[in-house]
Amino acid sequence: MGTDHDESLRVRPPKTTAVGIPGVRHAMTYALAEMGLRRSVTTLRSINQVDGFDCPGCAWPDPASGERSHAEFCENGAKAAAWEATTARVDRDFFARHSVQELRSLSDHELEGSGRLTEPMYLASGADHYAPISWDDAIELTSRHLKAMPSPDRAAFYTSGRASNEAAFLYQLLARRLGTNNLPDCSNMCHESSGTALTETIGIGKGVVSLRDITDDAELIVIVGQNPGTNHPRMLSALETAKRRGARIVTINPLPEAGLTRFKNPQTFRGVLGSGTVLADRFIPVRLSGDLALFTGVNKSLLEREERGHTPILDREFIAQYCDGFEDACAGWRDASWSNIEELSGIARADIEAFVDDVVAARSVVVCWAMGITQHRDAVATIREIVNFLLLRGNIGRPGAGPSPIRGHSNVQGDRTMGIWEKMPDAFLDRLAEEFSFDPPRAHGYDTVDTIRAMRDGDIDVFVALGGNFVAATPDTEVTVAAMARLALSVHVATKLNRSHLHHGREALLLPCLGRSERDVQESGEQFVTVEDSMSMVHASRGRLEPGSPELLSEVAIICELGRALFGDDMGWRAMRADYGVIRGHISRVVEGFDDFANRVDEPGGFVLPRGPHDGRVFRTSTGKARFTHNPVDAPEVPPGHLLLQTMRSHDQFNTTVYGLDDRYRGITGGRRVVFVNGDDLAERSLVEGDVVDLVSVWRGEERRLSGLRCVAYPTPRGCAATYFPEANVLVPLESTAHGSNTPTSKSIVVRLEPH
């Protein structure tokens, strides 16, 4: 992918301040270039307003409806919206001019930057170019392939987290009506570890904290393995509010990310003029994959203080009434050795004790985390240990306390609620069966990694993707590319051209859909859709812009047409397409917490779904109690001379969508081919900043290579390194996944640096 190392790349010292005027200026320049003035104003004015559309940028919640500012979006949300609302077009002439082979030589940035897809395109078996096809023929072709399969399990239906609740609900219905649970989704690579650990320990697979818990109530907010300055910028405003009323903030990260150190709020006078708010009171530079050891140390210390001291440290009443497994967990903490904890976390005991001082001084604690925690081999154990940490002091189910995994894609949480999961519980399937009078399959389907394995082994004929960029987002790019080539048919419902469309099955379809910012008109009139944010708020989203092309169909319409072609109108596909209210009627009867959906969706700002642990300390686990667990301290072994590599996001990308070549806060401009390494680790290898190296990942005797990366000396612990995804996915072995969640370990890859 792409050329050898970047000629235009420049490296400056990293920034300590995030957002402020440069952020707003960047957003506006960007919007104007993509959309022109009129479209920019309409777009930016509708983002996250009660009568507008949900920002496609991230899943951070919106403030209550009366408390929103006129610009309830961030620089990166503006980029995401502008990227969709661009006036550039990829039409039939574009495909006539460029063969698929030729398009493969473009970078991810150039591919998506070419503009919006405008009409359905078809790549015939053996053809070099995508060519136009009618909607009817495209639907018919897909349905013919699906019907020809010897078993429904030879199809896989991938979902990316931008799909609305309505589209996601219909999509899982379609797959299950066909007879398969093969519903891999981006969540498998994202917060799957959180869902797994939280379901087991507190009986619900999502966070149980509300925005107010953070802004108004938490006395201590711990942010671990997350870079909100880039990936959830609006979170910084909430943290600033918390900070002003005296909350303490601790950040745990191998990198000192900008925004946590100092933050300028572009929406307040002070943010524009002043030097901003210092957000983090304490920064703990943990080693990659060292959080399990760190939290074990914290919990061990809490237990030691309880056993030693005169003042109670643990919430004994809460533990006795609501929890089980406490004694076993304590035995584990007593056994854990401080030397092991210090070595694997990279944090001295004294620094761990200082953090524990913060913890015992706080009456309420929220822990927020994201990919820095979930994408490791021991991610599930780490999150269980974080839950232990919260349970010890009863920090759950009361104001200002609880676990808060911060979601990525704007509706990834909602998609899961709607049934996008290869192993939905029987209770959901029972209600689905009753509502639609059919027998949904019960055997678990393939998740993302298992889908690739099955494709690789020739066990999948038809791959359908509702959004996303499967080939670039998944691990082991070469394996995935080869796996795609074994398909009979690949179908992508997408807004923009990306790499996945160029690594296709024997035949391939590109089905262009409406984006979230666009007006969606069906037979019964203008439609809206709904989404669920990271804090379980469900609300409406209404597109305001004219569609990018008259040929675009909504995701709902595409799924309904495919449903009709496959099964006739048995489930009322036609009526659901005509009026999305009909879909919401079904959802209200199938999905828990959506009773009276039709009316509640009209509440300004939306409504919150029930969350047992938050609402009344109700824990629907296997024992009916919140569960302490014993998680032996461990971390991946790194052979001498090697480093542990994380793959992360730059400031100028949304996942595989690369908007530009700068990573402003980390001081990188004009290129992405860099590897951040501790200066001493460079020196030990006789390397200096600016040297160009290859990264070679080492996994069970196999080697994988990414060539031509510029070394940047960076403040990260010894033995750790960082580079950007998606380029680095060539290094991530398909077989290296988190225990219990099967999430690729894209933040702990053993590598060595080789001279280029």
Ligand X SMILES: Nc1nc2c(c(=O)[nH]1)N[C@H]1C(S)=C(S)[C@@H](COP(=O)(O)OP(=O)(O)OC[C@H]3O[C@@H](n4cnc5c(=O)[nH]c(N)nc54)[C@H](O)[C@@H]3O)O[C@H]1N2
CA angle (373 as vertex; 367, 375 as ends), nearest 5? 155
Q: CA-to-CA distance for 103 and 110, rounded, in angstroms?
A: 9
Q: Which of 247, 329, 347, 494 binds ligand X (CB under 6 A)?
A: 494
169 binds ligand X (CB under 6 A): no
Residue 58 Cβ vs Mo ion, minimum distance, rounded to whole Å = 9
Choices 262-270, 301-309, 334-342, 645-653 (CB under 6 A): range interacting with ligand X: 645-653
510 binds ligand X (CB under 6 A): no
Which 3 state secondary structure label does DSSP give 110?
helix
| Nearest-approach distance from CB 495 to ligand X, in angstroms | 4
255 versus 583: smaller Cβ distance to ligand X:
255
State which of residues 27, 728, 750, 751 lies at the interface with ligand X (CB under 6 A).
728
> Does 473 interact with ligand X (rule: CB under 6 A)?
yes
**# binding residues, ligand X (CB under 6 A):** 63
Give CA 543 to chain center in angstroms. 23
Closest-by-Cβ residue to Mo ion is 408
In the stretch 89-128, what mask flags binding to ligand X with x, by CB under 6 A?
Answer: -----------------------x----------------
Q: Does 288 bind ligand X (CB under 6 A)?
A: yes
Q: Scanning residues 605 to 624, which ones bind ligand X (CB under 6 A)? A: none
Total residue count of the chain as it appears in this document: 756
Residue whose CB is less far from ligand X, 276 or 475: 475
Which listed option, ligand X, Mo ion, none, makes contact with residue 470 (CB within 5 to 8 Å by class)?
Answer: ligand X
Distance CA 336, CA 334 (A): 6
Question: For ligand X, which is the closer residue by CB, 91 or 216?
Answer: 91
The residue among 22 and 612 lying less far from ligand X, judged by its C-beta, is 22
Strand segments (E) across 609-748: 626-627, 643-648, 653-654, 657-658, 668-669, 674-677, 692-699, 702-713, 720-724
Selected from 31, 81, 173, 189, the binder of ligand X by CB under 6 A is 189
Among 14, 120, 468, 606, binds ligand X (CB under 6 A): 468
Instruction: Using the structure block, give the residue that is written with the tokens 């839950």.
Output: 387
Q: What is the per-residue binding string for ligand X in 362-401, x denoting contact by CB under 6 A?
A: --------xxx--xx-------------------------
C-beta of residue 122 within 8 angstroms of C-beta of residue 132: yes
**CB-based contact 271:238 (threshold 8 Å):** no
Contact letters for ligand X, residues 256-275 (x by CB under 6 A) = -x------------------
Q: Which stretch binds ligand X (CB under 6 A): 86-94, 207-215, 487-495, 631-639?
A: 487-495
- Which residue is it, tokens 């943290």? 239
Contact flag: residue 495 with ligand X (CB under 6 A):
yes
* Cβ at position 262, least distance to Mo ion in Å: 26
Q: Does 513 bind ligand X (CB under 6 A)?
A: yes
Q: Which of 145, 503, 664, 747 binds ligand X (CB under 6 A)?
A: 747
Residues numbered 62-81 forming contacts with ligand X, rule: CB under 6 A: 76
553-590 residues labelled b (16+ CB within 10 A) or e (exposed): bbbbbbbbbbbbbbbeeebbbebbbbebbbbbbbbbeb
Q: Distance between CA atoms of 648 and 629, rounded to whole angstroms?
A: 29
Helix (H) or strand (E) holding 225: none
Give the containing element (helix H, strand E) for 222.
Answer: strand 220-224
Q: Which of Mo ion, ligand X, none does residue 224 bind (CB under 5 to 8 Å by kind)?
A: ligand X
Among residues 9, 141, 255, 709, the one that binds ligand X under rule CB under 6 A: 255
Q: Does position 223 bind ligand X by CB under 6 A?
A: no
- Can you tell me whether residue 475 is helix, strand or coil? coil
Q: Which span sits near ligand X by CB under 6 A: 131-139, 286-294, 434-442, 696-704?
A: 286-294
We find the least distance from the C-beta atom of residue 635 to ligand X, in angstroms, to be: 9
Residue 264: how many CA atoms within 13 Å on its side-chain side?
19
Q: Which of 230, 229, 269, 268 has its CA nearest to residue 249?
A: 229
Nearer to ligand X, 100 or 433 (CB): 100
Residues that bind Mo ion in the complex, under the rule CB under 5 A: 190, 408
Q: If binding is defined by CB under 6 A, does position 467 make contact with ligand X?
A: yes
* Contact assessment for residue 168 and residue 415, using Cβ atoms and an 8 Å cutoff: yes
Distances (CA, A) of 165 to 103, 179, 194, 533: 33, 21, 21, 11
Between 494 and 712, whose beta carbon lies closer to ligand X? 494
Q: Residue 725, interface with ligand X (CB under 6 A)?
A: yes
Site string for ligand X, 399-418 (x = CB under 6 A): ---------xx---------
To the nearest whole angstrom, how small is the minimum distance from the Cβ of residue 439 to ligand X?
29
Smaller CB distance to Mo ion: residue 403 or 408?
408
> CA-CA-CA-CA torsion for 257, 262, 268, 269, nearest 10 degrees?
-140
- 686 — alpha (psi -120 to 50), left (phi > 0) or beta? left
Backbone angles phi, psi at 694, to 5 degrees: -105, 145
Q: Which residues of 283-318 are buried (b: 16+ CB within 10 A; e: fewer)?
A: bbbbbbbbbbbbbbbbbbbbbbbbeeeeeebbbeeb
Binding map of ligand X across residues 233-252, x = CB under 6 A, - = no contact? -------------------x
Phi, psi of 310 (to 5 degrees): -100, -35
Name which position in 299, 536, 656, 697 contacts ligand X (CB under 6 A).
656
Chain-centroid distance of CA 136 in Å reads: 34
Stretch that binds ligand X, among 305-313, 386-394, 476-484, 492-500 (CB under 6 A): 492-500
Residue 413 parent element (H or E): helix 412-417
Cβ–Cβ < 8 Å for 115, 88: yes
CA neighbor of 672 nearest in space, from 645, 652, 643, 686: 652
Residue numbers of the site for ligand X (CB under 6 A)? 57-58, 76, 112, 160-162, 186, 189-190, 224-227, 230-232, 252-255, 257, 286, 288-289, 291, 370-372, 375-376, 408-409, 466-470, 473, 493-496, 498, 513, 515-516, 555, 646-649, 653-657, 725, 728-729, 732, 746-747
